Amino acid sequence: MALGGCNLGPRYHHPDIPPPPAWRADEVSGPATWPSADWWKGFSSPQLDLLIDQAQHANDDIAAAIARVREADAQARIAGAPLLPEISGTASATRERELNLAAPGTTTANIFSPLLNASYELDFWGKNRAALDAARLAAAASRYDRVTVELTVMTSVASTFFQAVEAQDRLKVAQDNLASAQTILKGLRLELKAGTITALDVAQQETTVAVLNASIPPLQQQLLQSIDALAILVGKPAEEVNITTGTLEALAEPQVIPGLPSELLARRPDVAEAEAQLMSANASIAVARASFFPSIDLTASGGYASTALSSLFNPASRVFTLSGELTQPIFQGGALTGQHAYSKARYAELLADYHKTIISAFSNVEDALVTLQQTALQYQRQADAVAKARRAYEITQRQFHIGTINILTVLNTETALFTAEDTLVQVKYAHLAALISLFNALGGGWQKA
């Protein structure tokens, strides 16, 4: 055992991938405010809190990730077994009859033999140690993968929940606008009877009512599909999931300001997972390289052997064997060379994946920041457009009833208001979705220990 531990594998070097000096977004200023571990509570939605809690306990993707962690831990235990002696016990009782060559007839005898066997492979080249390191690093990668899966599920729950609320808000806007349009149509029909407007004016308003009425089924479909998606995420039948919250406008908007880009890499579980896999592949190269060299096995067995149970454990019945074996691979049809080449190629593949993961991490944050800022600006401008469209609509309503404008002007301002209100809801959802993307890009409050 003292001879063990010679490591023929390449020394692992952390890849040097310099981060950008700062984020490109203009409005990223002030002290860093990284997401907290329970970042979703910043939206002040009890129903969202409940949905995420249900997903954490019942989501199938998270359950599968937890099972993969257990699998990797078991593989690590298996990989570590060759570093310890293998011990087994055997006991046999034999009764045999043999031909007696010295005299006519046969001889009958009993043989009792309890034995303890031990074997050990000297890890002279560090192959078994490297295999254990590779398995332990793979187990660490599985833990980072679990965090990544959990973060993805939680952000998906939040995004899908907001999508369902958006569908509810748009549905309410459409229903309110339909009711308003129907009220106007009712008034126009009365004026048609009085002879103050033409049938064309009524027909145009009827078209507006029909268009608004046709917009409702797709919104109801979107709402039901969002609820179905939420049901899958929380591991429940769709019939048990219902959206009872208020509007998107009623949700709070938590503040988050990313720190320096160099800090991001310690807050992204997918980056930690990619490096753990890279380190595991580096250890696998050592395993493949050590396979070219001889293996040394020590074997020992000892116990008792006797023809009678009464004398089985007497000192004279003790037996033992000791042996040493050296095995040198000579020809295996290129299997060892192929395994070594595969291990190096696998490391090169994972190195490229690691580089891509880091570059993607920086890009994810940049994209989320830009989208968050632009949707905030768009929301402000769209809210202003809604206010102006509503004012124009109210003015045209008064002027139409006193006869200073025609129905076409009313229809134009009516359509503009309806479209502006619907767009405002969609922009609000896009802004909240960008905020969710930013939480996801910043690692959702996770930090590497």
Task: Read off the pLDDT of residues 181-203 as tens digits, 9 standing for 90 and up.
Answer: 898 888 888 888 888 778 988 89
Give the whole-angstrom CA distance, residue 205 versus residue 198: 12
Per-residue pLDDT, averaged over 169-183, amounts to 91
Q: Please state the rounded mean pLDDT for residues 423-441.
A: 96
Residue 229 has pLDDT above 80, yes or no: yes
Distance CA 389, CA 418 (A): 9
| CA separation for the pair 301, 120 (Å, rounded) | 12
Pseudo-torsion of CA 40, 45, 47, 51, nearest 10°? -10
Residue 164 lies in a domain: yes
Q: Is residue 349 situated within a structural domain?
A: yes
In a domain, 173, yes or no: yes
Domain assignment present for 18:
no
Among 164-178, 184-198, 261-275, the least confident range: 184-198
Angstrom distance (rounded) from CA 390 to CA 387: 5
Task: Give the alpha-carbon dihedral of 370, 374, 377, 381, to 10 degrees.
Answer: 180
pTM (two decimals): 0.86
For the ranges 196-205, 278-287, 318-327, 338-347, which has the lowest average pLDDT? 196-205
pLDDT at residue number 42: 94
Q: Is 443 left (phi over 0), alpha (psi -120 to 50) or beta?
A: left
Does residue 94 register a pLDDT over 70? yes
Q: What is the CATH number of the domain that holds 202?
A: 1.20.1600.10
Q: Band of the pLDDT at 403, cuts 50, 70, 90?
A: confident
Region for 445 from its dihedrals, namely left if φ exceeds 0, alpha if ψ lies in -120 to 50, beta otherwise: left
Give per-residue pLDDT as tens, 65-90: 999 999 999 999 999 999 999 999 99
Residue 4 has pLDDT above 70, yes or no: no
pLDDT of residue 259: 87
Q: Show the tokens assigned to 54.
A: 């249900």
Note the pLDDT of residue 7: 58
Q: Which two tokens stand for residue 267?
A: 């807050």
* Residue 406 covered by a domain: yes
Lowest pLDDT segment from 3-7, 232-236, 364-368? 3-7
Residue 62 vs residues 68, 249, 264: alpha-carbon distances, Å: 10, 31, 24
Residue 193 domain flag = yes
| DSSP-assigned beta bridge partners for residue 120 | 298
- Tell me which of 40-49, 312-321, 432-441 is least confident: 312-321
Which residues have a Cβ under 8 Å from the Cβ of 265 and sit 6 or more positions away?
A: 19, 271, 358, 361
How high is the pLDDT of residue 6? 55
Cβ neighbours of residue 242 closer than 8 Å, sequence gap 6 or more: 227
What is the overall mean pLDDT for the chain? 90
In a domain, 32, yes or no: no
Residue corresponding to tokens 């809604």: 386
Q: Which domain holds residue 400?
A: 39-85+123-294+335-441
| Residue 390 maps to a domain | yes
Whether residue 313 is predicted with pLDDT greater than 60 in this model: the reply is: yes
The pLDDT value given to residue 10: 82
Count of the separate structural domains present in the chain: 1
